[in-house]
Amino acid sequence: MDVIALSWSDILLAALPLTALAVFFAWQRLGLSRALMIGAVRTFIQLALVGVVLKGVFQNARPLWTFCFSMVMLAAGTWEVTRRQHRRFVAGWTVGLAALGLFTAGFTVTVFALVALVGVRPWWSPQYAIPLLGMILGNTMTGIALGMDTLTQNAWKQRAVIENRLALGQSASEAVADLRRESVRTAMTPIINSLAVCGIVSLPGMMTGQILSGSDPLAAVRYQMMIMYLIATGAGFGSLLTVQLCARRLFDNRERLRLDRLR
């Protein structure tokens, strides 16, 4: 079955009702029109650029190009995690730990999927590697950002409690054990919710896309199951690792709470 391709004029047509909405917002003085139109233009430019680049990368399938593209995704994910923090570690530790967590969890899970599950050859084939990495990295990023933010904000608020626990002879690890658990729980909440409602309340975008492009629904569903398991794994291990490392960074070698390392 052939896909019914959309032309550029179809896209313009899709933008018409959105423009009408912006006009309506302006008339209602909601102050949203500008942001809405800027967002729409950004979507257009960003996706068009990605499309052009992906087309190039797919046509010259070389490991170097896949690698470069994945590094750009890692950098963008790291930047986004950092941007979402209310309190950051000084001296670039937030950036470093976010990148480490994203890389360790996101890339391991993706390579596992490519080699052991999809079994595409060569394993770095951009057509599979890049979309898979994108989905896994995106969700790992959300998990890490939530976990880090919960940990550092609560450590800041609960300084007196943590220090009283230290004064009573608890180790640094014991004194923040509750905070660490709460941070990982917060990090995992969105993904656990989406596992629970997947297919009932929401039809995942990737599956919908595959079905629209003519795939057998059962084949699309199997891909989606794999993706759901992979993104939960990536977000879980990514947030566990990052929360653990951040919790350690909150203390020095004498197990003193060092909130001066946050700003």
Partner 1 sequence: MTAFEVKDLSYGGFGPVTFAMREGEIVGVSGPSGCGKTRLLRALADMDPWEGTIALQGVAPATIPANHWRRRVAYVPAESQWWFDGVDEHFSHAPEDADLRALGLEPGVLGWPVARLSSGEKQRLGLLRSLMNQPAVLLLDEPTAHLDAAHTRALEALVAGRCATGMMALWVTHDPEQLTRVASRGYRMAAGGVWKEVDTWM
Residues lying near partner 1 in the complex (CB under 8 A) are found at: 158, 160-161, 163-172, 178, 252, 254-257
Q: How far is CA 131 from the centre of its chain?
A: 13
Distances in Å between the Cα of 17 and the Cα atoms of 20, 23, 126 are 5, 10, 35
Rounded (5°) CA angle 250-255-256: 70
Task: Fill in the DSSP letter of residue 87.
Answer: S
Closest CA to 134 of 117, 109, 100, 99: 109
**From the CB of 161, what's the least distance to partner 1, in Å?**
4
In this structure, what are the phi and psi dihedrals at residue 228, rounded to the nearest 5 degrees?
-60, -45
Whether 154 contacts 94, CB under 8 Å: no
Instruction: Write the CB contacts of 130 (distance below 8 Å, at least 6 apart in sequence).
Output: 54, 57, 66, 69, 70, 73
Cβ neighbours, 10 Å, residue 217? 10
C-beta of 111 vs 161, nearer to partner 1: 161
Residue 153 or 215 with smaller CB distance to partner 1: 153
CB of 67 to partner 1, least distance (A): 43
Shortest Å distance, C-beta 153 to partner 1: 16
Report the nearest approach of partner 1 to the CB of residue 155 (Å). Answer: 13
Choose between 81 and 179: whose C-beta lies nearer to partner 1: 179
Q: Which is nearer to partner 1, 62 or 159 (CB)?
A: 159
Cα–Cα dist 35/28, whole Å: 15
Q: How far is the CB of 160 from partner 1 (least distance, A)?
A: 5
Please, which residue, 154 or 224, has the CB nearer to partner 1? 154
Minimum CB separation of residue 159 from partner 1 in Å reads 10
Q: Which is nearer to partner 1, 42 or 256 (CB)?
A: 256
Q: What CA–CA distance (Å, rounded) separates 61 from 58?
A: 5
